[in-house]
Structure 1
Amino acid sequence: MLKTYAVSLAAGVVAGLIYAVLDVTSPAPPIIALLGLLGMQIGEHLIPLFKRLIKRQPVNLHWFRHEYSHKIGDTPPSSGDKTS
């Protein structure tokens, strides 16, 4: 898990260095960029919810925990699959 954060941070630093070398500013102020990321996360999580609602399957706490707890909490899914 720490490796994923390190790679993400390194990619951000490289992007910042490229911006500095090209003498350009960030394409979006930080708060707008963070809101964009939040929107992406919300959109990504709405798709499984809508699919379940369309199939008329129940949306309950058990389903929510199974579907999202490993994505939100960065813990691996109960099946033992590792994402990193």
Structure 2
Amino acid sequence: MKAYIVSLAAGVAVGLLYNVIDVKSPAPPIVALIGLLGMVAGEHAIPFARMVLAHVTS
């Protein structure tokens, strides 16, 4: 979890720096990022559902 927080903080810091020096971010558009989020959610959906069902049935 710590790696995610550090990564998020570094991303925010770089984003702020880009804004201050008025540079356009090379990051993909928000639509692409939402698509990636959907892919990650889909990848974790079945293991999560199995875990929930295992706790419900036990």
TM-score calculated relative to the size of structure 1? 0.35
TM-score with structure 2 length normalisation?
A: 0.45
